[in-house]
With several copies, the nearest count.
Chain A
Amino acid sequence: MYSEKVMDHFQNPRNVGDLENPDTVGEVGNPSCGDIIQLFLKIDDEVITDIKFKTFGCGAAVATSSLTTELVKGKTIEEALRISKKDIAEKLGGLPPNKMHCSNLATDALKDAIDNYRGEDE
């Protein structure tokens, strides 16, 4: 079902956990849907210097979280926001059709974190 890359991220997730004093936090999902992703970010001069995640969810949710953190670490906020769910799915070697919605979650959580950072919490 899952590609090797998904399984690699699922088995060895990068950047799991939380940060002590994050500059911002993003969260999407809720337990009834079966997915929650939390991202904790350190941001220094528009650059994401550190990032960690916590995920309640399926294999795809964990793997997309893990890859997202890996991809954005060291990037500027602008660069990070340019990463699309499609990029994520592709970099993971594809996701099963019924799991595509999971690949939205990590990018949504990132957007939420950055919105919070910028105070645009609409």
Chain B
Amino acid sequence: MNEIYLDHAATTPMDVEVINTVNKYMEDYYGNPSSIYKTGQIANNKLNEARKTIAELINANDFREIIFTSGGTESDNLAIKGAALALKDQGNHIITTKIEHHAVLHTCEYLEKHHDYEVTYLDVDEKGFVKIADIKEALREDTVLVSIITANNEIGTIQPIKEIGTFLKNKDVYFHTDAVQAIGQIKLNVQEINIDLLSASAHKIHGPKGVGMLYIKKGTKLVPQLNGGAQERNRRAGTENLPGIMGFKKAVELVMENRQKYVEKNSYLRDKLINGIEKSIDDAVLNGPRGSKRLSNNVNFCFKYIEGESILLNLDMLGIAASSGSACTSGSLDPSHVLLAIGHSKGTAHGSLRLSLGKDNTEQEIDFVLEKLPGIIQRIRDMSPLYIKEKERS
């Protein structure tokens, strides 16, 4: 049975060119980039080449504005804790949204708990959009940082990041965006958008796991969070993972080369999935917006009366890998904070299914999912006490 992998928002298979790159660097470039002998200096030059490629991806002004981390989570932690602590004397208020990734939310909670910061978690509308007016209202004298996700990992909502950046321009706050889900699909221009800090992760774009980056606009103050050696210009200690970083570089090159093509292909498959599900399954609620303000690879539905994990298990039996915002997949009791933030009841939020596309998904795979999903949903609903109740009601 061939796997139909539809969980690219969680992680992506590595591109074969990326694997080959990592391989080459594992074999031939073991030098420590901080050393002055040749193998070290060569490694250091390679590191800087990788910075240049990534700077190009987001149109950073200078390759030295890119530092490498162990992934999106670390980048978010460094950006938020690092910037907040650096501006401690200026204030202790942070603005973010209710639909951030846990890497942002739990980092904010850490600052609340361990450093007495106050955090405003902005509401979003029923499609997941943040309103500029809400940011405006939340801004205070002592606000030091605004952190807003570029595109949501669960429901695919792409925020009006440029408007937000423009609004924040000349305000005395740092603007951070978690672009982990966005960089593979959206052309971002940090200078134009006026971003101070931007997080990304390699394994979401067919790169290696355990590698991320943080864009730090020149002049942005940051208290390092991994303390130790002088690597990354004293902003992130630890021996640099050159093979992984070069794999990230290669993955970014492939994004720049193929982005448009994949976005077009995936948008088509995405809409086919959305339309097909809406046509064949009752009481299926699309989460997030439609069209160009939705990530080209994201499909997310709540199927009423049922619970998400059962859907996943049934799909898995057919070789379809997907994910859910159901609490039961995470071991907690609360379902996805994102689905609650867009207005779902907990009961409905438990029944969510996310299908996230990648570059290699085919139309046949989508057709197969569309063929099987209605039966699965019906089978689970037939078992559900809620489904009956609803039907009796009507």
Contact = CB atoms under 8 A, between A and B. Distances in A.
Does a CB–CB distance below 8 Å link A and B in the complex?
yes
Given A31-B345, A34-B350, A98-B331, A58 B326 contact: yes
Contacts of A31: 345-348, 350, 386
Interface stretch (B22-30, B248-256, B294-302, B304-312): B304-312
A54 B391 CA distance: 15
Given A33-B333, A34-B328, A56 B384 contact: yes
Interface in B354-382: 382
B41 interface: yes
A38 B309 CA distance: 19
B335 interface: yes
Nearest to B384: A56
B124 to A, nearest CB: 21
B57 to A, nearest CB: 25
B388 interface: yes
B385 interface: yes
B328 A58 contact: yes
B383 A62 contact: yes
A21 interface: no
Contacts of A54: 383-385, 388
Interface hub of A1, A16, A98, A99 (most chain B Cβ within 10 A): A1
A99 B307 CA distance: 14
A1 B36 contact: yes
B335 A34 contact: yes
A67 interface: no
Interface size class of A (residues with CB under 8 A): 20 to 34
Interface residues of B, number: 28
A27 B328 CA distance: 19
B316 to A, nearest CB: 10
A2 B38 CA distance: 11
B317 interface: yes
A74 interface: no
A36 B310 contact: no
Interface in A13-54: 13, 16, 18, 27, 30-38, 54
Residue with the greatest number of chain B CB neighbours at <10 A, chosen from A10, A16, A54, A57: A57
B104 interface: no
A98 B331 CA distance: 5
A35 B333 CA distance: 10
A27 B317 contact: no
Contacts of B313: 2, 7, 10, 59
B99 interface: no
B382 to A, nearest CB: 7
Contacts of B306: 56
Contacts of A18: 388
B164 to A, nearest CB: 33
Interface in B238-295: none
A101 to B, nearest CB: 8
A55 B385 contact: yes
Contact of A32 (B346, B385, B388): B346
Interface of A: 1-2, 7, 10-11, 13, 16, 18, 27, 30-38, 54-62, 96, 98-99, 102
Closest 5 CB pairs of A and B: A31-B347, A98-B331, A32-B346, A58-B328, A58-B309
Given A1-B44, A32-B346, 9 more contacts: A7-B313, A13-B383, A31-B347, A34-B307, A34-B346, A36-B386, A37-B385, A58-B309, A59-B313
17 contacts: A1-B41, A1-B44, A7-B313, A11-B317, A31-B345, A33-B333, A34-B326, A34-B327, A34-B328, A54-B388, A55-B384, A56-B305, A56-B386, A57-B309, A57-B328, A58-B307, A59-B313
